[in-house]
């Protein structure tokens, strides 16, 4: 996502700004708040086939030692490691943010729409959640004072809160490295957002980008050797990748309309992302990282965004916005089998699809 596609209020200092749809990623020292009310749409099928068992996550290589994500990012990834990343994982729950009395909170739900669970309970902004690779923890951005946000993690049941970043600037949109040792996120440098990484114990913070535009919505590749993100190229938003050491920046999309919120396929060969179609609406697209044209996945009259690939690689979770309503849906990678996951009177956004945890 990962950008929201509805108009919302953003707080900058003590003021509230209303930003149009196309500027949702240009956040400045603020956390997302919305005043819109959500209606109801007809629920889709339960779709028990949405979940399939394949294999469980193994965070170690064949020698039994944990792989260092930073080292992986600067070297050739061994085939033994590639076979153990998220290429054939069982689908778990979808975590997302929903608004309660104008304040975003974190929820989790099964892909068939059952088992909805609220994980955070406070008047503090909690948003942009992301599952750890093994599905046992969730990283998200937490705004304690109404001005600045920090990256925190919690257990899958909402307990065990741990703060990762400690500074006076806004840190948002976290995503885990494939072996769970580091977290990548957007870090405010006083003028714009850059891409940073940090160890999960809060040490060894590294800044990867250094420019004068907003870099947002980073996601680590399944093999650990690249990080995808979106940034402005001077005229619109495009998608780029970079090594975890900050070198080797590459542009993935190149056109005259916005592309945003990349999500890697479990194999790491493709990305799903939100993009502006020539008709003017936001849709979900898929593109191979080794080149070729993008392929459109969603076809409807609603703005869509915030794609998150399922761990088994068969479906994509995303949000749909229509008439001041926002809900979570899933769809086959081929574009069929659209399924509605959430159906409440809350605005629901920024889904992240996790593996089925064995813990």
Q: Please report, for the chain, the start and end positions of each structural domain, with discontinuous segments joined by +.
A: 8-355
> Which pTM value belongs to this model?
0.79
3-state secondary structure of 95: strand
Q: Do residues 169 and 212 lie in contact, with contact meaning Cβ atoms separated by under 8 Å?
A: no
Distance between CA atoms of residues 53 and 66, nearest Å: 24
Q: What is the pLDDT of residue 102?
A: 86
CATH fold of 8-355 reads: Neuraminidase (2.120.10)
Q: Do residues 90 and 55 lie in contact, with contact meaning Cβ atoms separated by under 8 Å?
A: yes
Q: List beta partners, residue 238.
A: 231
- Cα 18–22–23 angle (5° rounding)? 50
User: pLDDT of the chain along its 359 residues, tens only?
Assistant: 355 433 333 332 222 222 233 333 333 223 332 323 223 323 333 333 433 322 332 333 323 333 445 444 444 444 433 433 445 688 899 999 999 888 899 999 999 999 999 999 987 899 999 999 999 999 999 987 556 789 999 999 999 999 999 988 899 999 999 999 999 999 999 899 999 999 999 999 999 999 999 999 999 999 999 999 999 877 889 999 999 999 999 999 988 889 999 999 999 999 999 998 877 789 999 999 988 889 999 998 788 999 999 999 999 999 998 877 899 999 999 999 999 999 988 899 999 999 987 66
Within 10 angstroms of residue 36's Cβ, the number of other Cβ atoms is: 17
Q: What is the pLDDT of residue 359?
A: 60
Distance between CA atoms of residues 175 and 196, nearest Å: 11
Distance between CA atoms of residues 89 and 66, nearest Å: 19
Q: List beta partners, residue 185.
A: 196
Give 259's contacts (C-beta < 8 A, 6+ positions apart): 230, 236, 237, 238, 239, 253, 273, 274, 275, 276, 285
Q: What is the pLDDT of residue 6?
A: 32
Q: What is the pLDDT of residue 239?
A: 96
Q: List beta partners, residue 316.
A: 309, 331
Please name which of 358, 359, 356, 357 lies closest in space to residue 90, comparing C-alpha atoms.
356
228 Cα distance to chain centroid? 11
Please name which of 236, 317, 222 lies closest in space to residue 269, comparing C-alpha atoms.
222
Q: Which tokens in the block code for residue 17? A: 């700004």
């Amino acid at each position: 996502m990962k950008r929201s596609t509805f108009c919302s209020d953003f707080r900058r200092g003590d003021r509230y700004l209303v930003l149009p749809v196309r500027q949702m990623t240009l956040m400045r020292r603020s956390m997302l708040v919305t005043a819109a009310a959500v209606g109801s749409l007809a629920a889709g099928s339960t779709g028990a086939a949405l979940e399939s068992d394949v294999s469980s996550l193994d965070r170690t290589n064949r020698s039994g030692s944990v792989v260092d994500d930073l080292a992986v990012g600067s070297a050739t990834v061994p085939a033994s490691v590639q076979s153990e990343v998220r290429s054939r994982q069982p689908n778990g729950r979808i975590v997302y943010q929903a608004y309660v009395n104008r304040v975003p909170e974190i929820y989790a739900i099964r892909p068939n729409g059952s088992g909805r669970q609220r994980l955070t309970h406070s008047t503090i902004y909690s948003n942009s959640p992301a599952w750890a690779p093994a599905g046992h923890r969730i990283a998200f951005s937490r705004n304690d004072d109404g001005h600045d946000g920090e990256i925190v993690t919690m257990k899958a049941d909402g307990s065990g809160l741990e703060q990762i970043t400690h500074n006076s600037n806004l840190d948002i949109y976290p995503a885990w490295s494939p072996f769970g040792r580091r977290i990548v996120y957007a870090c405010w440098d006083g003028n714009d957002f850059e891409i940073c990484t940090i160890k999960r114990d809060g040490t060894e913070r590294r800044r990867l980008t250094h420019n004068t535009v907003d870099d947002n919505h980073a996601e680590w590749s399944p093999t650990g050797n690249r990080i995808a993100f979106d940034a402005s190229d001077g005229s619109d938003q495009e998608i780029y990748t970079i090594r975890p050491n900050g070198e080797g920046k590459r542009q993935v999309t190149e056109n005259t309309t916005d592309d945003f919120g990349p999500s890697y396929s479990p194999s790491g060969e493709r990305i799903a992302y939100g993009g502006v179609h020539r008709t003017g609406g936001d849709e979900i697209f898929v593109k191979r990282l080794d080149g070729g044209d993008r392929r459109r996945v969603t076809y409807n009259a609603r703005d869509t965004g915030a794609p998150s690939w399922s761990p088994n690689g068969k479906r994509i979770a995303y949000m749909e916005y229509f008439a001041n309503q926002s809900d979570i849906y899933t769809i086959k990678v081929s574009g069929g089998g659209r399924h509605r996951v959430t159906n409440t009177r809350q605005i629901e956004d920024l889904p992240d699809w996790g593996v089925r945890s064995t813990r």
